[in-house]
Chain A
Amino acid sequence: MGGDLLVRIGVTVFPGSNCDRDALYAVERAGATPVELWHADADLKGVDAVVVPGGFSYGDYLRPGAIARFAKVMGPLEDFARSGGPVLGVCNGFQVLLEAHLLPGALLRNASMRFVSRRVRARVEANDTPWTSLYERGEELTLPVAHNEGSYFADERTLRGLEEEGRVVLRYVENPNGSVNDIAGICDEGRSVVGLMPHPERVSDPALGSEAGLKVFESVLRFAGAKV
């Protein structure tokens, strides 16, 4: 589909981001045009979707994501997200979206007090988001996690809302961090803003041992491609 290259997917880069290259690569491999969005950029360069990648933005100072949330690029990104633009936060990117209140809840220190870096099994619970539409509901994936603060928490009312509205997008089959309700990923009310703790971009090429995560990027490409 030659038209797909018209789809531009941005990846934000903060000081300390370390999965931005992987995300740009996954976007390219899915068939879209990757666009780097520097933290000091004042606009999103006309992209159709944005990935906020993992890493240790601003050294995780204060709390993961707490400082990145005030970066210049976050202004236009929040406008984009609030107007229904597809935004995916992965790991530290998920933490950034929570700090920016684009998603509800918080990510706490892992229950084990250890950094976990391994592959875990997780189940796709919602495929009616722009980022998961090419997966089957109930499909089990093996995805890498690598985090110190990945224990999802939300108050009871928020949690009930997430469950009732089917906004838990990904659920651990084996919970690596103590997340409440085994939550590995959620979406916002509009379903276009998604946060995931596991790293789909790290499994986006058979050379990396798996391409279980590639459909995340192909999904959003199809979603945005339908509009271009």
Chain B
Amino acid sequence: MKVRVLVRPKSGILDPQGEAVRRALPALGFSGVKTVHIGRLVEMEVESADKVEGMCRRLLANPTVEEYEWEVIS
């Protein structure tokens, strides 16, 4: 099965990457963007979804500064 994991900075954590993109968008004429947060997308093919939670907690995300969610996509 395929699993999709989404990792993003916790709210309140400085996200300079998102901030840089937010500032760059108006330069291209895209106005009205209030916030941008940039995370990481991990897609995996796994035999079972049993261990995905552990994978997220122990490696794919750093729970100190990131939050994650995951779903089975097929």
Set of chain B residues within 8 Å of A104, measured between Cβ atoms:
64
A110 at the interface (CB under 8 A from B): yes
- Identify which of residues 103-134 in chain A touch chain B, using a CB-to-CB cut-off of 8 Å: 104-106, 108-113
Contacting pair A113 B20 (CB below 8 A): yes
Contacting pair A105 B64 (CB below 8 A): yes
Q: For the side of the interface on A, what is the size category?
A: 20 to 34
Contacting pair B16 A153 (CB below 8 A): no
Contacting pair A113 B17 (CB below 8 A): yes
Give chain A nearest CB distance to B31 CB in angstroms. 22
Q: How many residues belonging to B are interface residues under a CB distance threshold of 8 Å?
A: 10
A108 is contacted by which of B14, B20, B59, B60 (Cβ under 8 Å)? B14
What CA separation (Å) do A109 and B39 show in the bound complex?
Answer: 13
B14 is contacted by which of A70, A99, A178 (Cβ under 8 Å)? A178
Contacting pair B16 A112 (CB below 8 A): yes
Contacting pair A110 B16 (CB below 8 A): yes
Give chain B nearest CB distance to A24 CB in angstroms. 30
Residue of A nearest to B60 (CB): A62
A63 at the interface (CB under 8 A from B): yes
What CA separation (Å) do A113 and B16 show in the bound complex?
Answer: 6
- Chain B CB within 10 Å, residue with most, of A70, A98, A109: A109
Set of chain B residues within 8 Å of A66, measured between Cβ atoms:
59, 62
Set of chain A residues within 8 Å of B14, measured between Cβ atoms:
108, 111, 151, 153, 178
B33 at the interface (CB under 8 A from A): no
B 32-74 to A, binary, CB cutoff 8 A, 1 in contact else 0: 0000000000000000000000000001101011000000000
- Identify which of residues 44-98 in chain A touch chain B, using a CB-to-CB cut-off of 8 Å: 62-63, 66, 70, 98
Set of chain B residues within 8 Å of A112, measured between Cβ atoms:
16
Contacts A111-B16, A153-B13, A178-B14; A106 near B65 (Cβ below 8 A)? yes
What CA separation (Å) do A104 and B20 show in the bound complex?
Answer: 27
What CA separation (Å) do A37 and B30 show in the bound complex?
Answer: 52
Give chain B nearest CB distance to A31 CB in angstroms. 37
Contacting pair A153 B65 (CB below 8 A): yes
What CA separation (Å) do A111 and B20 show in the bound complex?
Answer: 10
Residue of B nearest to A66 (CB): B59
Give residues in B with beta carbon < 8 Å to A: 13-14, 16-17, 20, 59-60, 62, 64-65
The list of the 6 closest CB pairs from A to B, nearest first, reads: A106-B64, A106-B65, A113-B16, A113-B20, A109-B16, A111-B16
A selection of 8 A-B contacts at a CB cut-off of 8 Å is A63-B62, A70-B59, A98-B64, A99-B62, A109-B17, A110-B16, A113-B20, A178-B14
Given contacts A63-B62, A178-B14, 13 further A-B contacts (CB under 8 A): A62-B59, A66-B59, A70-B59, A104-B64, A105-B64, A106-B62, A108-B16, A108-B65, A112-B16, A113-B20, A151-B14, A153-B14, A153-B65
